[in-house]
Amino acid sequence: MPFTFTGFILELETPLHIGAGRSGMLARSHGFVPGHVVSYALAAAIGKASGGHSAAFADALTTVLQNLRCGPLLLLDREAQRPLLPRQDREAIEHRYLTARNQVTLDPESCSAVEGALFEVESISARVLHGSHRGKPAQLAGGLWHRGPQLAGKPLQDWFRSGLLLGGELKTGQGRVRLATRGWQPNAPHYAQHPAWPVQEHGVRLTQGACLPGPSLEGTLDAPLQPWLGRLFDPQQGFGRRFSPPALVRMDGTVQESGIFLPGHQEVGLGCWTRSNGATD
């Protein structure tokens, strides 16, 4: 079955932590949501609705990976009137969206803080922090390619409307998102509402020299290679408890040769852009 593209916009209800490694006591966050995070959030929601046991989650993950490809979600900035690029617009992302708060690990026996366990968690704020749109809900725009209107027996959009949990620090209330008003956009003509990123059933069609937003595994230049790890599903411990093997990606790279790009569906580099040959297997 061929793919169909649907664009969507999410609004943050609580801050969103997308782990980007540690820097001293700071747990850093990406300023965007990689595609694999959405895929695993969908699988977690489906697995929970199917009984919540390990086999249900494993089956749900297989269903998701076989039936859809999700690209990166980008901050839809009202000030710039476009999506912000994770690397190229990092300064604007940090200024208008990133926040941090101190946390501490508690010892239940002594009812006090564990010595040396103070740390700081960086997150995307649920509200715009600075600029003329300060206080407005932060929005994430992206899209996915899917094989049919339903997923695991429900309309695909219902899984988004029921409230996905994205990223880390869920135990502290982070990662709550909702589908924005008119945020579900079947057959949208552009990725993340940007006219520079036209889409078709096989992916995003870009010309030579265009910028490909987010991490790409191949087909781009003019951005440094960087290691890319994703937190994956572990059959014994659950979601987010295992790291993927490393991949090398370019963030916001320049397209080397005109072509079509589709989010990858393999464990290594899941959700990162790859060149599409038009196949839908």
Give 30-89 pLDDT, tens digit per residue. 999 999 999 999 999 999 999 988 889 889 999 999 999 999 999 999 999 999 999 999
Confidence of residue 27 (pLDDT cuts 50, 70, 90): confident
**β-strand partners of 242:** 232
pLDDT tens digits for 212-254?
Answer: 999 999 999 999 999 998 766 566 655 556 666 788 999 999 9
Q: Which helix (H) or strand (E) holds 90?
A: helix 90-96
- For the chain, the structural domain boundaries read 4-275
How confident is residue 15, by pLDDT bands cut at 50, 70 and 90?
Answer: very high
pLDDT in tens, 170-220: 878 888 999 999 999 999 999 999 999 999 999 999 999 999 999 999 999
DSSP for residue 126: S
For the chain, give the number of residues. Answer: 281
Asked if 226 contacts 217 with a C-beta cutoff of 8 angstroms, the reply is no
Among residues 41, 54, 53, which one has the least CA distance to residue 176? 41
Q: How far apart are CA 208 and CA 202, in angstroms?
A: 18
- Are the C-beta atoms of residues 46 and 151 closer than 8 Å to each other? yes
Class of 4-275 in CATH: alpha beta
> Which residues are CB-neighbours of 34 under 8 A, at least 6 positions away?
18, 72, 214, 215, 230, 271, 272
Other Cβ atoms within 10 Å of 2 Cβ, number? 9
Dihedrals phi, psi of 100, to nearest 5 degrees? -150, 155
Q: Which residues contact 85 (CB under 8 A, 6 or more apart)?
A: 74, 211, 213, 214, 252
Q: What is the spatial distance between Cα 47 and Cα 237, in angstroms, rounded to a whole number? A: 14
Structure tokens at 125: 């704020």
In angstroms, how far is CA 264 from the centroid of its own chain? 13
First to last CA, the chain: 9
Digit-coded pLDDT (tens) for 92-113: 999 999 998 765 565 666 665 5
Other beta carbons within 10 angstroms of residue 225's beta carbon come to 11
Output the pLDDT for position 120. Answer: 80
Helix (H) or strand (E) holding 262: strand 259-263
Q: The dihedral of CA 212, 209, 146, 192: what is its sign?
A: positive
Residue type, 3: F
In sequence order, the β-bridge partners of residue 255 are: 220
Strand duo 177-186 + 98-107: pairing: unpaired
Asked whether the whole model's pTM tops 0.75, one would answer: yes
